[in-house]
Amino acid sequence: MSAQILDGKALALKVKSEIALQVKKLPKQPGLGTILVGTDPGSLSYVAGKHRDCAEVGIASIRIDLPQTAGEAEILAAVTQLNNDANCTGFIVQLPLPAAVDAQKVLAAVAPTKDADGLHPSNLGRLVLDSKTIVPCTPKAILRLLTEYQINLSGKSVLIIGRGTTVGRPLSILLSQKAVNATVTVAHSATKNLAELLKSADVVIAAIGKPHFVKPAMIKSGAVVIDVGITRQDAQLLGDVDPSVIDVASYFAPMPGGVGPMTRAMLLSNLLELAQP
């Protein structure tokens, strides 16, 4: 068996072309703001990519870059600036923030109506209630990718490895909603029967930041495998899943080229939602 690749690059191009057409129909050009603190190479690359995406689809860019030494008050002032900027349709605070900064306090200061990442407490609360809301980008990207390849999750056993607030937890809520109807298990560092859960799961989504943690022998034949994790190691970017799972899985979203491009595309999708009159 050789898995079909879930091609996030190709789908992201398709989504961006659709967004570009919709942007042209808006009465006012939307603007995406970013707040970046420090010079983390991964964050710098990611933010730069977001602004390239904006240029491709006709969205204006508003960029605030702060030094690594920026304190909480300075970061909150930048949030207030974008909250009050009429040209900023929505914005994101690039994570991680410096250790001394209360990231949850900063995210809570973002106006919910400008929360392009879907991480404001009120937007996450609406996700829990299955109300219309801005969905966090990576969970939205994963579901969009699965939907594109007509992978029906209703009644399927989905194992999410990782319980982070940007992927694992919101994804578990999204996939368990009635519209999707998956049976979701979230595994984490205290999970004692991970091997058993992996072997029985119809869908495995790895988001823990441990290079090549998921091996082919761990999953059942024909499982759908989604690699979300990313780790820098010896000048390489490695995912959470050993690429050789392609020989066991039925579908595989690799890293790179799977979820990552779609996550950026979903940020544009969220901004488009915020821009609707």
- pLDDT tens readout for residues 95-145: 989 999 999 999 999 999 999 999 999 999 999 999 999 999 999 999 999
Q: DSSP assignment, residue 85?
A: -
- pLDDT tens readout for residues 143-166: 999 999 999 999 999 999 999 999
Q: Is pLDDT of 1 > 70?
A: no
Structure confidence at residue 233 as a pLDDT band (50, 70, 90): confident
Q: pTM of the predicted model, to two decimals?
A: 0.95
- pLDDT tens readout for residues 250-273: 999 999 999 999 999 999 999 999
Domain 27-111 has CATH 3.40.50.10860: yes
Record the tokens describing residue 135, joined without a space.
Answer: 């969905």
The class of domain 136-260 in CATH terms is alpha beta
User: Residue 157: its pLDDT value, please?
Assistant: 98
220 carries an active-site annotation: no
4 carries an active-site annotation: no
For tokens 């969009």, name the residue: 144
Q: Is pLDDT of 80 > 90?
A: yes
Catalytic-role residue among 16, 50, 114, 140: 50
Question: What backbone torsions phi and psi does residue 15 show, to the nearest 5 degrees?
Answer: -65, -40
117 carries an active-site annotation: yes
- pLDDT tens readout for residues 61-76: 999 999 999 999 999 9
Cis, peptide link before residue 170, omega less than 30° from 0: no
User: Residue 27: its pLDDT value, please?
Assistant: 95
Record the tokens describing residue 84, joined without a space.
Answer: 């009050």
User: Residue 45: its pLDDT value, please?
Assistant: 86
Catalytic-role residue among 16, 53, 94, 114: 94
Instruction: Break the chain into its structural domains and give their ranges.
Output: 27-111, 136-260
User: Residue 135: its pLDDT value, please?
Assistant: 97
User: Residue 40: its pLDDT value, please?
Assistant: 85
Taking the CA atoms of residue 7, residue 54, residue 230 and residue 66 in that order, the dihedral angle to the nearest 10 degrees is 180
Catalytic-role residue among 53, 117, 202, 227: 117
Decide if 18 contacts 264 (C-beta within 8 A): no
User: Residue 41: its pLDDT value, please?
Assistant: 82
